[in-house]
């Protein structure tokens, strides 16, 4: 389908850019969700907690369940968009604009004697899309959905009692980030560490 619209060469470039973007997201900490059964266990309001213990709880849950929070946010915002025809209209317009940009990527646009390059056209499309989202209220719909998703995630971080695995994972993650900051290196490969944690959990004896 992409080849029919953009041609074989440009289609391959787009797919390569998507793969590179996904790799960057994984490097930044995107991970697969933990089982939803574990995600929903032991939910209760904390009793007699101080700010330090609350901060540790929120940090542990965020690092351990960030894949789940990503799914919760995507589903929540998606539902708001689904029930907002105006927002769908804006997204369709933005998508068609992006397709038009890619199709005309190599073509020159001369406006009053000035060549409008691809980068300038991309910025113009972004500005027009933002203005359209503001005028139609689509931006407000997305912001409301994002706020509710953030509230749900934060409520879970506060009410969820971290498991020993979550505390261990959070401690190791914090140590890795601290080491990366001290060494001036890149962010740690949390996907690899997450795989090690799952392997340890599956291979540990059941008491």
Cα angle 19-15-195, degrees, rounded to a multiple of 5: 20
Q: How many C-beta neighbours within 10 Å does residue 21 have? A: 10
Q: Are 133 and 139 in contact (CB under 8 A)?
A: yes
Beta bridge partners of 111: 114
Nearest to 136 by CA among 77, 83, 73, 88: 88
What span, in angstroms and rounded, lies between the C-alpha atoms of 44 and 66? Answer: 19
- Cα Dmax for the chain: 77
pLDDT tens digits for the chain (207 residues)? 555 555 566 566 666 766 666 565 555 556 778 888 888 888 888 777 778 888 888 888 888 888 899 999 999 999 999 999 999 999 999 999 888 887 777 777 777 777 778 788 889 999 999 999 999 999 999 999 999 999 999 999 998 888 888 888 777 777 776 666 666 554 444 444 444 444 444 444 443
Q: How many beta carbons lie within 10 A of that of residue 76, not counting itself?
A: 20
Q: How crowded is residue 50: how many other Cβ atoms within 10 Å of its Cβ?
A: 7
Rg of the chain over CA atoms, in angstroms? 22
């Amino acid at each position: 389908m992409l080849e029919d619209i953009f041609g074989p060469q440009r289609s391959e470039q787009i797919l390569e850019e998507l793969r590179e973007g996904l790799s960057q997201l994984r490097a930044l900490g995107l991970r697969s969700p933990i089982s939803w059964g574990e995600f929903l266990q032991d939910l209760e309001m904390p009793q007699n907690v101080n700010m330090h213990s609350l901060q540790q709880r929120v940090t542990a849950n965020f690092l351990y369940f960030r894949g789940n929070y990503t799914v919760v946010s995507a589903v929540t915002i998606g539902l708001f968009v689904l029930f907002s025809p105006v927002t769908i209209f804006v997204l369709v317009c933005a998508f068609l604009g992006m397709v038009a940009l890619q199709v005309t990527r190599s073509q020159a646009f001369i406006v009053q004697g000035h060549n409008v390059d691809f980068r300038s056209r991309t910025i113009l499309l972004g500005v027009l899309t933002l203005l359209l989202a503001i005028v139609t209220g689509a931006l407000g719909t997305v912001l409301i959905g994002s706020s509710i998703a953030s509230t749900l995630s934060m409520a879970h971080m506060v009410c969820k009692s971290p498991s020993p695995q979550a505390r261990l994972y959070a401690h190791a993650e914090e140590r890795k980030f601290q080491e990366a900051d001290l060494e001036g290196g890149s962010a740690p490969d949390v996907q690899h560490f997450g795989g090690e944690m799952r392997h340890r959990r599956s291979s540990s004896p059941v008491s």
